[in-house]
Amino acid sequence: MILLKDCFRVVRTHYGSGQFASTTGVASNTGGAGTSGAGTSGAASSADDDLSGVDILIDGKRIRKISKGIPAPEGCVVVDASRHEVMPGLVNTHHHFYQTLTRNIPAVQDAKLFKWLVYLYEIWKGVDEEAVYWSSKLALAELAKTGCTLTTDHHYLYPQGFKEDLPGLQFKAASEIGLRFAPTRGSMSRSRKDGGLPPDTVVQDEDTILAESEAALKKYHDKAPDAMRKLALAPCSPFSVSERSMKDAAALARRHGARLHTHLAETLDEDDFCVKMYGRRPLRVMQDCDFVGPDVWYAHGIHFNDEELKILAETGTGVAHCPSSNMRLGSGICRVREMLDLGVPVSLAVDGSASNDASDMLGEARQALLLQRVRYGAAGITAREVLGLATIGGARILGYDQAGLMEEGALADLALFDVMKMEYAGALSDPAAALLFSGYNHGVDHLVVNGEFVVRDRRLVGADEETIRVEANRCAKALLEKAGVKAEW
């Protein structure tokens, strides 16, 4: 058991426009602190909804009680939270862990998506077992240290000669770091010889993809609401897989009660490619593959037209917003404001580290706040709305009804940020919003996942950070050298 004592503020995030209004099945009456009646639907929360000076008792994997003056049960670990903003852990809904080894490559620092992909594929085709393992550890560690308790990953690269069980390596890394992990089994079937962008050596044929996807679902997908492991299927994009692969994935995932994911509407080049290749716009291609619905979420979703936004709302199809990557590659600005108003489920994501080039989850929330305002003006999105889509919004998109919540009975996935640091001085009239408006060090003091410490006193509990740094740099260097790219460090 863990008792978080005298929390300076407890943030109860909501999802702005009620997209996730269905009841969670967990108690919403937190009693004793004037919190009853606070659901997860309705208007975005405000500073008035936050709780001051309460304790949070974590028992097993769940929040048992939120109240003032909870006596510490015997044997309980007591944490002084009087300097801390305590909030549901952030949820990352799109990433490519392996790209942490190819961040900030000078040759494509200024390239847009297709040119960037073509160059990097020549490096990525050398990804081996060690690269997958250490890049996963690195990405997961960075996510944990910046407030993320639940993440996905989208690994779609299956180089010839890769010997080990690839999802297995990632699940191993996630269980060592301690995060709740709901990755996707990605795939690519359209290489250069078929008019796609990836080299022939990193794609698989449709039958292999189908067989390996089914085996991975059987091995790793846990449908339980408190699962530490789930698996979704994620053909990479309309320009790197065949229509048959998309259709196969949709049918297979639904047979196993798993979710579906892909990149969509990221660039105007993709629109052109789809119109040329399929004679249809990207969303139409997805509709024809039965790749829409409440069990589907797309990464980016920048270039949907008005009609397509309505289709997303009507079908309940979600969008993972990746503001840093979209800015980095100059891809455009996702229409999040309009999506929220229409009722489209939206979540937040850092995207792969070759286009971010960090796995800074709290930093990403700040980017989302600011980027919507570039498009829609200062009232474009509120800090509370961003925190809502970064927590409960992401949890729902990854298939978790009981995460992303600050309620008794919810899963104990919590982030504790010290807001008594210099960088938040003068910003404490709304401490939750201060995390997005102010500050420059996005690290948590403590992170709890499934009732266990993952970060304690700013250090990872389950892994040595220096080892991760050294091993990741070694793997990155080997990967670049294999491709003939200069790597001197």
Nearest approach, Cβ of residue 213 and Zn ion (Å): 18
**How far is the first Cα of the chain from the last one, in angstroms, to the nearest whole number?**
44
What does the binding site for Zn ion look like in residue numbers (CB under 5 A)? 299, 351-352
Of 299 and 312, CB closest to Zn ion: 299
Of 345 and 352, nearer to Zn ion (C-beta) is 352
Tell me how far, at minimum, the Cβ of 352 lies from Zn ion, in Å.
Answer: 5
Q: How far is the CB of 159 from Zn ion (least distance, A)?
A: 18
- Kindly state the smallest distance separating residue 437's Cβ from Zn ion, in Å: 28
CA 177 to chain centroid: 16
Nearer to Zn ion, 243 or 351 (CB): 351
* CA atoms of 198 and 239, how far apart (whole Å): 10
Residue type, 424: Y
DSSP state letter for 99: G
Q: How far is the CB of 429 from Zn ion (least distance, A)?
A: 37
Closer CB to Zn ion, 73 or 330, in the complex: 330
Residue 461 Cα distances to 180, 411, 454, 458, angstroms: 15, 20, 5, 9
Q: Is the CB of 245 or the CB of 402 nearer to Zn ion? A: 245
Q: Specify the residue, 320 or 410, whose C-beta has the smaller distance to Zn ion.
A: 320
The least CB distance from residue 270 to Zn ion, in Å, is 12
Q: How far is the CB of 225 from Zn ion (least distance, A)?
A: 27
DSSP structure string for 134-175: HHHHHHHHHHHHTTEEEE--EE----TT--S-HHHHHHHHHH
- Shortest gap between Cβ of 412 and Zn ion (angstroms)? 30
Q: Is 86 helix (H, G, I), strand (E, B) or coil?
A: strand
Q: Which is nearer to Zn ion, 91 or 416 (CB)?
A: 91
Per the DSSP assignment, residues forming a β-bridge with 180 are: 150
Helices (H) and strands (E) in the chain, counts: 15, 20
Of 240 and 402, nearer to Zn ion (C-beta) is 240
Min CB(248)–Zn ion separation in Å: 21
* Contact (CB, 8 A) for 113 and 267: yes
> In the structure encoding, which two tokens stand for residue 461, read together?
């509990």
Q: How many CB atoms lie within 10 A of CB 200?
A: 12
CA atoms of 122 and 87, how far apart (whole Å) = 41
* Rounded Cα gap, residues 424 and 459, in angstroms: 21
**Which lies closer to Zn ion via its Cβ, residue 24 or residue 326?**
326
Instruction: From 359, 352, 386, select the one nearest 370 (Cα to Cα).
Output: 386
Q: Which is nearer to Zn ion, 351 or 413 (CB)?
A: 351
By CB atoms closer than 10 A (0-12, 13-18, 19+), residue 410 is: buried
> What six digits make up the tokens of 364?
């990403």
Name the residue among 149, 69, 122, 176 with its Cα closest to residue 398.
149
What are the residues facing 466 on neighbouring strands? none
Residue nearer to Zn ion on the CB measure, 120 or 436: 120
Q: Which is nearer to Zn ion, 16 or 352 (CB)?
A: 352
Which pair of structure tokens corresponds to residue 29?
A: 């009456």
> In whole angstroms, how close is the CB of 457 to Zn ion at the nearest point?
33
SS (H, E, C) 348-366: ECCCCCCCCCCCCHHHHHH
Residues 6+ apart with CB under 8 A from 249: 187, 209, 213, 233, 234, 235, 260, 291
Q: How far is CA 256 from the centre of its chain?
A: 22
**452-456 and 446-449 strand pairing:** antiparallel
- Phi/psi for 138 (5° steps) reads -65, -50
